[in-house]
Chain A
Amino acid sequence: MVNIGLKDVWYRYTGSSSWSLKGVSIIIQNGETVLVTGHNGSGKTTMLKIASLIYRPSSGAVLVDGKDFWVLRESERTSVRRSIVYVHEKPVLLRGSVLSNVAYGLAIRGVSSGEAVKKCREVLEELGIWELHRSSPHKLSAGQAQLMAVARALVLDPEALFLDEPFAHLDSEKREILVNTLIGRQRQGVSIVISSHQVGYLGKLSVNKTVTLENGVVMRAREKREKGESNS
């Protein structure tokens, strides 16, 4: 159970002279699926990283279940972060095998390796890439690496899942696998936030809310996706 709110969030990257987010306010309710759209450079990635508690806003607040996240103590922050997971647009590959990459989050939570392997296998099989578990992640195709990064997040059973352009490198077959997996998670009550500069990829995935960004400002926030917008 997690509600995440951004309250008048402004963000400027270190060394940059312009604001990447200018007063963004949104609410992601528990169990909701939110689509964030907008052109390249509109601030989708920045907003997702702020909402998933990776970046600290330059000003404004991030509320998790009503509590101001950035005034919490470091240890409290870590425990809040454990239920909120973000998947990068460009997967970050770690040394070792696909399996050890996927197991990373479990390892730092102190999960035993036997249990971790079992969990990883479950998720990798669901995503159709279990047979790659021994390979080096550097040998994967872009789409396979993307799915590996999603698996690394899903094994943690997050309450809120942030996916940055998750469909960008996927072919239609992998896209369908991912959509079906996400539908399964929706049914379990997981909040899902997806960014996409193209809206056509979502297929059967239903969305509760669409947020459109333009130059760091929320242009439109609509409950329920309008018909026809989903299919391209």
Chain B
Amino acid sequence: MRVLSGEVIDTVLRSLYVSGVATMLSLTWSVPASYILALRQRTGLVEALLETLVGMPTVLLGLLLYFLFSSSGPLAPLRLLYTPQAMIVGEAILVTPLIISTSHRLLRNAITTYSELALSLGAGRDQAMTLILRETSPGIIASAVMGFSRAVGELGIAMMVGGNISGYTRVATTAIALGVSRGEFEEALVLGLMLLAIMLVVAVALKSLSRVYVKW
């Protein structure tokens, strides 16, 4: 079973790790940004911009980050080029428009409904906000799962700023690309299917987890 070698498993796990951390990092700014956007009135232009950025070619973003991180770029002192950290930053930026544009819509309806309910029952401002986030959490988790899938499946950033270094920055997509270029189709296919299977498990687990919340 050459195709299920330790290296393959290692690569898949790295994919999940890099994209998982990137998604969580993105949530730290995407959720507050969605909330702020949801409170605003005329946001058509911002929405259009975000929706355009959802489809941004990952190689383009990879290239921009490459210029920033490369030895002659402004962020060179951070020494991020060809590290997993660079991939995490890149993917976190990549999934931001997707998470904001899906979750701000959800929050917009929820803010009116639940803040009214919270006020009507004597909640303070913070308690109202907590209620809004609690009630929208399944939707926000769903949009994070979409972001995660996009991050796992992207190739451009991982290639440009990760560099496909074996045992260090090699993730599933760069490994598949390499396998294909070497004519190792079987290995590439197994890797891809394994990754999809694990992502399905993650998505299902998060979905059921977000449903079980019942206090009493």
A contact residues vs B (CB 8 Å cutoff): 14-15, 49, 52-54, 74-75, 78, 81-88, 92, 94-97, 99-100, 103-105, 107-109, 113, 117, 152-153, 156
Contact = CB atoms under 8 A, between A and B. Distances in A.
A78 B213 contact: no
A105 B122 contact: yes
Residue of A75, A88, A97, A104 ringed by the most chain B CB atoms within 10 A? A104
A91 B145 CA distance: 30
A108 B127 contact: yes
Interface string B180-216: 0000000000000000000000000000000001111
A105 B121 contact: yes
Given A54-B116, A108-B127, A97 B216 contact: yes
A117 B120 contact: no
Given A14-B41, A95-B134, A95-B135, A52 B215 contact: no
Contacts of A52: 120
A88 B214 contact: no
Contacts of B119: 53-54, 81
Given A95-B213, A100-B215, A108 B123 contact: yes
8 contacts: A54-B116, A54-B119, A74-B125, A78-B125, A94-B135, A97-B216, A105-B122, A156-B122
B4 interface: no
B164 to A, nearest CB: 43
Interface string B117-140: 111111111010001001100100
Contact of A86 (B113, B120, B125): B120
Contacts of B125: 74, 78
B109 to A, nearest CB: 12
B216 A85 contact: no
